[in-house]
Amino acid sequence: MDNAVGPILRSSDEVDQVVAAIYDDNPGTEIEVTDRGAYVRIHASDHLRVTAESLKRHLGPDFEIRSLEAMMSAFAGRINTTSDAVEWSLGPAKAPVG
Amino acid sequence: MALLKREEWQGIVRDVDWTLKYVDDEAVYPEWHSGTGKVPRDAWQKWEESYKVSYPDYVATQREKENSAYAVQSALKRSKAFETLDEGWKSATKMHFGGVALVEGMATLAELKMARFGLSPAWRNMSIFGALDEMRHTQITLLFGHEFVSKDPQYDWSHKAFHTNDWVTVSLRSLFDAMMTGANAVDMAIQLPLTFETGFTNLQFVALSADALEAGDINFANMISSIQTDEARHSQQGGPTLEILVEHDPVRAQWTVDKFFWLSARAFAALTGPSMDYYTPVEHRKQSYREFMEEWIIDQFMRTLSDYGLKKPWYWDEFMEGLDIWHHSLNMGLWFWRPTLWWKPVAGVDEASRQWLNEKYPNWETVYGDKWRVIAENINSGNMEATLPETLPWLCSMCHLPTCNANYGRDGKWRVRNYSLKHNGMTYHFCTKGCRQIWWEDRDNLNHTTVVERFLLGEIQPMDVPGVLGYMGLTPDVMGDDAHNYHWASSFSQSEPAGTAGGR
């Protein structure tokens, strides 16, 4: 895959739900999931995102988007985090927030 | 009451800064600590981290991470998991505990330096979280290692190693003093969070966790991958710093990344390479070290560097050739000088392992097979003295690792070559052209002397192997011996040399 970006998650019970949330948030995008046992790569070309809303839908209403950090041991590309979504892409952030 | 979103207030809180009245900017952010160099001072106002975290979020998330890591450790304490681990794998963890625990402590100080001398309030704020992270990593690594001290005194070196002059420690100290202790904040952000943490630590903390889990060491896999979730965040101090440096001083940006990419690659070839290709039992290896390097460094990290506008380093061909050589040579060196280690080194060359090595590295048999065969024959005939060191290996004046890299020369032979240069009446010796070039560019730096140079200068007495072992702090109950009681050697008496298909 060219220009692969996206998270690398530690092995846990919640990986499948995060993958499902990412699929929901990136319709029509080709997503590659590589399972190496202790870690799982979830990548797409150039851009990938996951929203707090989808994460709550799959992991329960109490799940907070900040908790994604405890599952994500690395990522490919540049990251951009807000209260509503996490995005991975290449190149400088279009509109910095904060 | 609805809480404000972080984006609605964080900028105001994070960007609090002093308006200096009684001192000038240079007094507060002196060049030798902050290191702005050719970058205009106000250019740093653009510094913007992309991985944002607020203090309440930080504390809540770290609490979740700690609870999870210690819950696993607590559950496994009551199991027999440790006793079932292969001795070779245990050595990979001993190497990690001793080689990493107090480097995490150094990294706390490095983060604090950026928290004080970083050139924008956003950067300093992020470094505070980095310092708290590194304090956690020091503590959790020491605690996990300490659990096993009563079972095996080598684990005591989790804490002790960095307080000794063991040659492995001196090599790591040399690397990390240059990367962290002696660097200004700008260089440090490029060297530590960007080159080391965005690139190389993924190998030891994420990739190796795949092998750890396969080897049955759930505790270790859990610890290292938990640590790396912090690194993934605070390593993002590197990106914004690099972006500004590339804009105003691209030559410095390229050189700083190139240099620490090379030095990190040398260190990981010594520690992670053997752990993956020799210490992890062959049936539990997820991928080879070369394959993990291709996945994490050559593909992922090089794409990151290219994204920031950097080129491949000047030594790229030598680095790529080294992926088939460096860690194999170093593994042989570690094993041969085994009394100098605080772990039990693994030969890792029984019949199944040799087959695996030849599949992954087509030249392995040509370069290493005959040498291991001689060692095995000495073991099988009871001539153990011939397998033990009588003298010291020459240590590279740059990376402090043994000069032991074979390469294929114009004479059609694989030979270990020495790269030397003369400076101020002294001849210095290096393991590679890359190490020699970096040393030359930085020749006015204060460098650590290698253990061999200390020996020749008469600093180590008596001047023999027992004297050197004493200088390194090694005692008979700790010094390394073969992890598998030499059982692997018998496989050589039952087999002919493996085929050399694909070899030169």
Q: pTM higher than 0.90, yes or no?
A: yes
B363-388 average pLDDT score: 96
In a domain, B330, yes or no: no
For chains A and B, count residue pairs whose Cβ atoms are closer than 8 Å. Answer: 111
Q: What is the pLDDT of residue B493?
A: 86
How many domains does chain B divide into? 1
A2, A49, A83, A88, best to mutate vs chain B, most B CBs in 10 Å: A83
User: For the purposes of burial, counting CB atoms within 10 Å of the CB of B294, is it exposed (0-12), middle (13-18) or buried (19 or more)?
Assistant: middle
Of the pLDDT bands very low, low, confident and very high (cuts 50, 70, 90), residue B504 is very low
CATH code of residue B215: 1.10.620.20
Contacts of A37 in chain B (CB under 8 A): 210, 213-214, 286
> In the structure, what pLDDT confidence band is assigned to residue B496 with cuts at 50, 70 and 90?
low
Structural domain boundaries enclosing B273: 44-311
Task: Indicate left, alpha or beta for B372 from its phi (over 0: left) and psi (-120 to 50: alpha).
Answer: alpha
The 10s digit of each residue's pLDDT in A13-54 is: 999 999 999 999 999 999 999 999 999 999 999 999 999 999
pLDDT value of residue A93: 64
Determine whether the interchain pair A98/B307 forms a contact, defined as Cβ–Cβ distance below 8 Å.
Answer: no
Is A98 contained in some domain?
no
A70 and B209 within 8 Å at the Cβ level: the answer is no
User: Between A64, A70, A98, which is nearest B65 by CB?
Assistant: A70
In percent, the amount of chain B with pLDDT more than 70 equals 98
> How does the average pLDDT of chain A come out, rounded?
93
Our measurement of the distance from residue B380's CA atom to the centroid of its chain's CA atoms, rounded to an integer in Å, reads 35
ipTM above 0.90 for this complex:
yes
pLDDT tens-digit series, residues B47-56: 999 999 999 9
Q: Is residue A94 part of a domain?
A: no
Q: Is residue A19 part of a domain?
A: yes
> H or E stretch including A78?
strand A78-81
Name which of B10, B205, B307 is nearest A98 (Cβ-Cβ).
B10
- Residue B459 in 3-state DSSP? coil
Mean pLDDT of B230-259: 97
Pairing of strands A85-89, B406-408: unpaired
Higher-confidence residue of B27 and B81: namely: B27
CB of A17 within 8 Å of a chain B CB? The answer is no
Instruction: Kindly tell me if the per-residue pLDDT of B16 is higher than 90.
Output: no
Q: Which domain holds residue A46?
A: 4-89
pLDDT of residue B501: 40
- B232 in contact with A, Cβ within 8 Å: yes
Query: A94 pLDDT exceeds 80?
Result: no
Establish if A92 touches chain B: CB-CB under 8 angstroms: yes
Instruction: Please compute the mean of the pLDDT values over residues B198-207 and round it to a whole number.
Output: 92
Q: Is A59 on the interface with B (CB under 8 A)?
A: no
Asked if residue B473 belongs to a domain, the reply is no
pLDDT tens-digit series, residues B470-494: 999 999 999 999 999 999 999 998 6
pLDDT higher than threshold 80 for residue B2 = no
Please indicate whether residue A96 or residue A69 has the higher confidence score (pLDDT). A69
Distances (CA, A) of B201 to B58, B106, B267, B294: 22, 15, 11, 14
> Is the CB of B6 less than 8 angstroms away from the CB of A82?
yes
| pLDDT tops 70 at residue B99 | yes
| Mean pLDDT of the B254-281 span | 97
What percentage of chain B exceeds 90 in pLDDT? 86
Lowest mean pLDDT among A44-53, B345-354, B495-504: B495-504
The C-alpha R_g of chain A, in whole angstroms, comes to: 13
Is residue B500 predicted with pLDDT exceeding 50? no
Q: Residues 6 or more apart from A17 whose CB is under 8 A from it?
A: A55, A58, A59
Please state, in angstroms and rounded to a whole number, the distance separating the CA atoms of residues B106 and B439.
Answer: 23
In whole angstroms, give the CA distance from residue B293 to residue B473. 33
Q: In which band, very low, low, confident or very high, does the pLDDT at B503 lie, cut at 50, 70 and 90?
A: very low
Confidence of residue B497 (pLDDT cuts 50, 70, 90): low
Q: B48 touching A, CB under 8 A? A: yes
pLDDT at B331 (0 to 100): 98
Q: Is the per-residue pLDDT at B329 higher than 50?
A: yes
Asked whether residue B354 is assigned to any structural domain, the reply reads no
In the 8-state DSSP scheme, what is residue B256? H
Q: Is B307 on the interface with A (CB under 8 A)?
A: yes
Total tally of structural domains belonging to chain A: 1
Q: How far is B240 from chain A (nearest CA, A)?
A: 9
| CATH number for position A44 | 3.90.56.10
Residue B412 lies in a domain: no
Q: Residue B12 has what pLDDT?
A: 86
Q: Which of A38, A84, A96 sits opposite B209 (nearest CB)?
A: A38
Distance between A55 CA and the closest CA of chain B, angstroms:
16
Classify residue B56 by burial, with Cβ atoms within 10 Å: 0-12, 13-18, 19+.
exposed
Question: Is B392 part of any domain?
Answer: no
Of B15-24, B372-381, B490-499, which gets the smallest average pLDDT? B490-499
Looking at residue B269, its pLDDT comes to 98
- Inter-CA distances, B325 with B48, B332, B374, B392, Å: 40, 11, 19, 21
Instruction: Give the residue on A whose Cα is nearest the Cα of B61.
Output: A67
Could you tell me if residue A73 is inside a domain? yes
Q: What average pLDDT does chain B have?
A: 94
Residue type (1 letter), B290: R
Would you say residue B401 lies in a domain? no
Is residue A46 domain-resident?
yes
Residue B253 in this model has a pLDDT that exceeds 60: yes
Q: Are A59 and A18 in contact (CB under 8 A)?
A: yes
- Please indicate if any CB of chain A lies within 8 Å of the CB of B286: yes
